[in-house]
Amino acid sequence: MSKFPILKGIVIPTNTKDYVKCVKCKNEAIDGFKLCEFHRNDNIERSIKYREENKDKLIQFRKDRYANNIEFYKSKNKENGIIYKDSISKNKKKYYQENLDKMHIKNKNYSDKNRNTLNEYAKKYRKENIEKLKESVLKYNTKNRIVINLRVSEYRKNNTDKMYKLNSKHRALKRNAFVSDVDRLLIYERDNHICQLCGCLVDLAIKHPNTLSLSIDHIIPLSKGGTHEPSNVQCTHLGCNISKGNRTGKRENYAPNGVVNE
């Protein structure tokens, strides 16, 4: 039983014997071939000449062969395509991992050079595939809920100043207040590290939610029409800020650590 497939209109050799002697001149044959080097090269030259002279005929023959064996070639191409794709993916992944820094620099340079083009393509793609993207994001979030929550929690923990800035801006926008850039560390330096409600030192080493940790207070509260800008905020302890509530307070009205003097 031949191990080669039987295709219509094709003669496939079934003899896989390793030849020792050339079948034409009886000289030593090339390993795996039935011809010596001279006759092998001669056959190659005549084959190239024949293909050049009969190019159209051979193209038609290949088309007929494909048409007569279309199911076989489809299955074979699909199988080879999957194997090739997996092989390429593995090689790409391996190369990327071995050259991580190099690939990051390459990707960053490409992104910087083609920023406008990439942004336009991304906008166009999102617009054309909005439902597909929503479904994909929902599916991913549902599947990876625990991982996402841990990642978000870790990010907030490592970027407290950035998160405070975003949350403060969001709260102000919800109340339709005027908003400008407020950096709490700059406010901390401006106020000489002193709580503007109790007059005591604010230590940056003390972290939230300790009542002595750094907090930024709106002098005129947002709920009473205050703005979110450097001129309307002051450095305070968290405890002092909580005790003040939504009142418009001055330093002399407050005792250390937020105790209100009535």
Q: What is the reported pLDDT for 13?
A: 46
Element (H, E) at 217: strand 214-218
Q: Which of 50, 68, 86 is the last residue of a domain?
A: 68
Q: How far apart are CA 239 and CA 214, in angstroms?
A: 9
- Looking from the CA of 199 toward its CB, the CA atoms found within 13 Å total 8
Q: What is the reported pLDDT for 144?
A: 93
Q: How far apart are CA 134 and CA 128, in angstroms?
A: 12
Token pair listed for 8: 């219509």
In a domain, 129, yes or no: no
* Cβ count within 10 A of residue 255: 14
In a domain, 152, yes or no: no
Exposed (0-12), middle (13-18) or buried (19+): which is 18, by Cβ within 10 Å?
exposed
In a domain, 60, yes or no: yes
3 state SS of 237:
strand
In a domain, 243, yes or no: yes
In a domain, 207, yes or no: yes
Q: What is the reported pLDDT for 39?
A: 85
In a domain, 201, yes or no: yes
Q: Which of 17, 35, 68 is the last residue of a domain?
A: 68
Q: Residue 182: which CATH number?
A: 3.30.40.220
Q: pLDDT tens per residue, the chain (262 residues)?
A: 334 344 444 444 445 455 678 888 888 887 777 888 888 888 889 999 998 999 999 999 988 888 888 888 778 777 776 776 677 777 888 888 888 888 899 889 999 999 999 999 999 999 999 999 999 999 999 999 999 999 999 998 888 888 888 888 888 888 888 998 888 889 999 999 999 888 899 998 998 889 999 999 999 999 888 999 999 999 999 999 998 888 886 555 544 444 444 4
Q: How far apart are CA 163 and CA 159, in angstroms?
A: 6
Q: How far apart are CA 232 and CA 246, in angstroms?
A: 14
Q: Which of 38, 68, 98 is the last residue of a domain?
A: 68
Full domain range(s) for residue 3: 1-68
In a domain, 181, yes or no: yes
In a domain, 3, yes or no: yes
Element (H, E) at 214: strand 214-218
Domain count for the chain, please give it.
2
